[in-house]
Copies of this chain bind each other. A is one copy, B any other.
Amino acid sequence: MRTISTRSYHHGNLRRAILEAAVEAIGESGTATWSLRELARRAGVSHAAPAHHFGDKAGLLTAIAAEGFELFADTLAEAGADFLDVGVAYVRFAVAHRAHFEVMFRPELYDRAAPEVAAARDRAGQILARGARTLPTGGVQGRTTSLAAWSMAHGFAELWLSGALPAELGDDPAAAVRPVLQVLTGGLHDK
């Protein structure tokens, strides 16, 4: 961040600055309302500077997706091994890192086959599967239970982000999703 007064030819950390500006812009208004040129202006560099680091717009979104899956895997891992905690962490991540989440699950926006994306995505997938294994399977295949859990957490997160859920749920997605996920842990029978 040398910048401020005497602006040097080299930005110093342009890649990081562009990434953060993109995440901020996506969080504010989605993946389509900003431009590479606007990000360049925010960072105080010329309109073509971002291209050196990301190639094109898809390259920038690929970097965001990779970073997102890394953060996602870390967040899920920290949540522990219990399904309920992992599920709540899933939704918490989606809301806290809205921009990353939106890009991650919109693979037409980026290069889903990029190795850094695939690696982080697989890591997150394994942690998710581990969480689902703590669910009661009740006779059905474990894969079915796992899919049910994943779908529920993911669906709640997407509905929350899209503003489709009723306002009475309040403003804390983690608190709102917990009883919903408990339906799978036996909530149908006790609490």
Contact = CB atoms under 8 A, between A and B. Distances in A.
Contact of A154 (B30, B137, B158): B158
Contact of A148 (B31, B105, B152, B163): B152
Interface in A141-187: 141, 144-145, 147-148, 150-159, 162-165, 179-184, 187
Given A136-B188, A139-B187, A151-B180, 6 more contacts: A138-B189, A140-B191, A147-B180, A151-B154, A152-B152, A158-B158
Highest count of chain B CB atoms <10 Å: which of A105, A108, A152: A152
A46 B151 CA distance: 44
Contact of A187 (B138, B163, B191): B138
A106 interface: yes
State the number of copies, please. Answer: 2
Contact of A31 (B32, B112, B153): B32
Nearest to A189: B138
Q: Sort chain A's interface into a size bin.
A: 35 or more
Interface string A22-35: 00000001111100
Given A152-B155, A159-B151, A183 B31 contact: no
Nearest to A164: B105
A188 to B, nearest CB: 3
